[in-house]
Structure 1
């Protein structure tokens, strides 16, 4: 006889304290600069990205004026792919923000979990061109360590001497969210006392962007590129590709309080699921996304009617926005105020969930929801309360952040006010 499926046993609520944050986005290098533009709802898509010259979609949300040499020695920097450089700069800011002293922590109990899906794409494409043009003997011996997706976590571990588990999660555009959820589990299981977590991605290379273009996933508006990324807008027609990184430092709540740390918010729930439906399209009714959302609620011991705010995946693609809106309405009702930060920072793939996790934490800390940038006419088919045109003061106690990716990957984090 076939065994009947059983539900997972309920677990005691667990809060992971966010004690440090770092960001590198198209909105700016550092949390202060990035958050200022996100709060203002100011779009950032560039008109021409030199690396993308010659392909139809030659614009993106790139990180301007990024120079890691102030933190990473120039000799070391050229050995790192840009995805690792972005991660190191964001991680340095986050650990500094946390107030933790690496000379006093137990390094064997400090973990690193980052989300990354594409690895050193720019390095790989560059060295492939070297192979074709100059032959195999001219290919860099650093190619493999520069392109391997695990190296962003590896280099962060090296920067801080963190000797606990170091790994990368790869769940497409849900990778950063998955990483934060797994980091919380390392604390919950008491394997680690501190986890440096988040995501990074540097995908602005011709082959990848051309591939997204061929899929018709990218936005096509060129009249005003700063408003091209238009989540939930009636005339949205695709996402704007981006690069970036965001890092959070997580500790057990009691440990953070004991050392007098400033806690920005708590990660109190996590849920994940698979659509098991299609390689690139979401399940039309959002049933997989609903599973992840309900799992996060259950993990936190929070009812659907207690959620005040949703930081949406909100990519500005027709299918994703519609499916996500239906899921939010079905599960959470009309109560939560919804926003998407991708109108400002674009879609940075594996880093997106981490950037949105930081944004959600800051929203709870400050009591103000940033607007969905570039949203002029809300799609009438989307029956949710989207914050747009201006931010909204709201002392939210509970918020969720959604992330969905190719392969039917769904991940949801639930945050509570500290």
Structure 2
């Protein structure tokens, strides 16, 4: 079996659109949550989100090309281009039949769909764009990355809701490990901060309504949390066989050593209250890495800032680690970037890679008083330094989809 290493990192996020800005913001405990200014939110219960700012699609690809892409595809392609540059890959020097793309989106082109529904209603069927379907479908980010890079290897666009990023990374790990590809771009992208999504989640009472204090709204594990905060962006990693990476002299940033997936088989939106599915995915990931739970040094939690979800994940961690659960730092990046849905796993994997490289665990901000049932070490409000060799990252999605990856500090 091939070892699978990480050779490139690409991020577009509410904390910035390049790696150093994103990572420095996390370490500093900076919030990327703000009042929504991209549409009129005066009639909404929730008026805040984690938005990507400063990305200029037309300046990047030209007006004609940019207009062919929904925003979720633009964010995904921007992150993939960044990951490519970071990796140092020379596309004309590799076998593109063994270059793959595993990038998913939970909602896909919601902006394109709604805009064309409006055109259909107001101006008739003749005004609906012939590009509606290819712009809308959720596999299009992966397809456009493949087209842009000439990647003719295995391509997959998983749809496992908020666990998409980890599903993509884990399934790509399996393909490279088995020798069926040399390099895969893996992660997720999402651009769901749209009026219809804001209204839907808001009416489901899932979102925080701390509109006057947006930077304090996302509060994983805190007693005063009142729901999650929507975010958007893309997080994409370049995964590569160790053999291929070493042959081209690549810089290696980390290693993927395990992956586990499970289903709660419980409810359409709620986590299993005992965290059974999350526990099973973590247990499977640790086993696939050839480790014991006691080998885990740090956990990047899914931790969306909902009472049921935070408590269920805490129970799952305790079930996995036993008394060691109180030893292992658990961090919640969503306290700063909000919930990026299908992009969350990729973004949080990038943060975990940086934690293992630099020995710094970003804080869980806004954690002033832990809620009932939340008694682990969540790294409240201030980053933690130390030695961390093995990290576990959790992603759980609507429908009970759970995906967990295990990353390792690369030692050469």
TM-score (norm 1): 0.95
Q: CA deviation at 1:36?
A: 1.4
Query: Cα deviation per residue 1:330-389 (whole Å; 9 max; x = unaligned)?
Result: 212222111011011110111101111111111101111011122222225212111122
What root-mean-square deviation, in Å, do the aligned CA atoms of Structure 1 and Structure 2 show? Answer: 1.2
Please give the alpha-carbon distance, in whole angstroms, between the structure 1 residues aligned to 2:13 and 2:40: 18
Matches within 5 A, 1:138-287: 138-287=127-276
Query: Which residue pairs with 2:407 in the alignment?
Result: 415
1:247 partner SS = strand
Q: CA deviation at 1:319?
A: 0.5
Is the contact made by 1:177 and 1:354 (CA closer than 8 Å) also made in structure 2? Answer: yes
Q: CA deviation at 1:133?
A: 1.0
Query: Which residue pairs with 2:365 in the alignment?
Result: 373
1:29 partner SS = coil
1:32 and 2:24 are equivalent in the alignment: no
More off after superposition, 201-210 vs 17-26: 201-210
Query: Which residue pairs with 2:103 in the alignment?
Result: 114
Please give the alpha-carbon distance, in whole angstroms, between the structure 2 residues aligned to 1:103 and 1:73: 24
Please give the alpha-carbon distance, in whole angstroms, between the structure 1 residues aligned to 2:275 and 2:50: 28
Q: CA deviation at 1:188?
A: 1.2
Is the contact made by 1:52 and 1:204 (CA closer than 8 Å) also made in structure 2? Answer: no
Query: Which residue pairs with 2:33 in the alignment?
Result: 45
1:288 and 2:277 are equivalent in the alignment: yes
Is the contact made by 2:262 and 2:403 (CA closer than 8 Å) also made in structure 1? Answer: yes
Query: Cα deviation per residue 1:236-275 (whole Å; 9 max; x = unaligned)?
Result: 1111001100110001123223322111111100000001
1:385 partner SS = coil
Query: Cα deviation per residue 1:295-354 (whole Å; 9 max; x = unaligned)?
Result: 000000111111010000010001000100111122122221110110111101111011
1:211 partner SS = helix
TM-score (norm 2): 0.96
Query: Cα deviation per residue 1:11-43 (whole Å; 9 max; x = unaligned)?
Result: x7x631000000000111111111111111111
2:34 partner SS = coil
Q: CA deviation at 1:394?
A: 1.5
Query: Which residue pairs with 1:328 in the alignment?
Result: 317
Please give the alpha-carbon distance, in whole angstroms, between the structure 2 residues aligned to 1:257 and 1:268: 17
Which of 343, 348, 359 matches 2:340? Answer: 348
1:190 partner SS = coil
Query: Cα deviation per residue 1:75-99 (whole Å; 9 max; x = unaligned)?
Result: 1001100000001110001011111
Unaligned runs of 5+ in 2: none
1:362 and 2:354 are equivalent in the alignment: yes
Please give the alpha-carbon distance, in whole angstroms, between the structure 2 residues aligned to 1:354 and 1:48: 24
**Count of residue correspondences:** 406
Q: CA deviation at 1:207?
A: 1.3
Is the contact made by 2:295 and 2:390 (CA closer than 8 Å) also made in structure 1? Answer: yes
Q: CA deviation at 1:52?
A: 5.3
Unaligned runs of 5+ in 1: 1-11
More off after superposition, 375-384 vs 288-297: 375-384
In the TM superposition, structure 1's runs of 4+ consecutive aligned residues that sit over 3 Å from their partners are none
Please give the alpha-carbon distance, in whole angstroms, between the structure 2 residues aligned to 1:201 and 1:394: 33
Please give the alpha-carbon distance, in whole angstroms, between the structure 2 residues aligned to 1:283 and 1:70: 45
